[in-house]
Amino acid sequence: MITNRTKAKLAAGEAVIGCFNKSTDPGFTEFMAMSDWDFVVMDGEHGLYGPAEFANGARALELRGVTPIARVNTNEPSAILRALDAGAHGVHVPWVNSAEEAERAVQSVKYGPRGLRGLAGNRSIDFAATADTTARANAETMVIIHIETGTAVDAIDDYLDVDGIDVLFIGPTDLSHSLGHPGDKTHPVVLEAMDKVAAAVVPSDKTLGIFTATAELVVEWKAKGARYFTAGVEGLLKSATDAFMAQARN
């Protein structure tokens, strides 16, 4: 059965730091897991992950004690079911534009009585479809809901009433695009929208999460009350490589 260390840290009031990973190579994913991340998000939205890759990535991460999370490509029960049955301990669900859509995501993640996740033996419940294993899965799995459009920001208060959401996660890139400033994540209009989300979520029983490409952004958003952070491995590799080359070419 899965034991979700990231969820346990959040429940203990701690901050958690993870990283998006588009590479479907389990060897690379295992290598990433040696860098003290709490969790790695296997990216099935902007990366090429499908169910088989989620399963091998989850194995690689579990070997090293890092929580495997899947970003699914769409808020569809069948997509979420396959990611979880493959062994993801939670899902990032993109483009969730209303509380009703968030409720649908929660129902896809949770077995009955809370939800509608289809039941069959699978690795996440040790191939034992029972009342105990489904209850344990419901307790351990995480639901991370992306807030990444102007529509979602306008409705942010409604999401707070959806039982079962662990993290309301700001996607600054899509949000900047949605607000008419593609890629300009520091535009005042984008910052204002992100601060509106923080003001609603931080005092609630949900965790505020955000994509933070740099450690400086983690520090800044931790001060604003966020506790769930993700970087992106390509950005980290690119900046380290560029810094190496700048010095090496001198």
Q: Among all residues, which ones are annotated catalytic?
A: 46
- Shortest gap between Cβ of 97 and Mg ion (angstroms)? 12
Q: Which residue is nearest to ligand 3PY (CB)?
A: 171
Q: Find the helix packing angle between 99-109 and 77-85, rounded to 10°.
A: 40
Examine residue 148 and tell whether it contacts Mg ion (CB under 5 A). Answer: yes
Task: Give the distance between the most distant pair of CA atoms in the chain.
Answer: 64
- Shortest gap between Cβ of 46 and Mg ion (angstroms)? 8
209's contact among Mg ion, ligand 3PY, none, with CB below 5 to 8 A by partner kind, is none
> What is the chain's length?
250
Q: Using CB under 6 A, pick the residue from 19, 148, 201, 231 that binds ligand 3PY.
A: 148
Per-residue exposure over 167-203, b if at least 16 CB sit within 10 Å of its own CB, e if not: bbbbbbbbbbbbbeeeeebeeeebeebbeebbebbee
Examine residue 171 and tell whether it contacts Mg ion (CB under 5 A). Answer: yes
Q: Which is nearer to ligand 3PY, 50 or 235 (CB)?
A: 235
172's contact among ligand 3PY, Mg ion, none, with CB below 5 to 8 A by partner kind, is ligand 3PY
Nearest to 207 by CA among 188, 226, 223: 226
Binding to Mg ion, residues 178-207 (CB under 5 A):
none
| Cross-strand partners of 16 | 228
Which residues contact ligand 3PY (rule: CB under 6 A)? 94, 146, 148, 171-174, 211
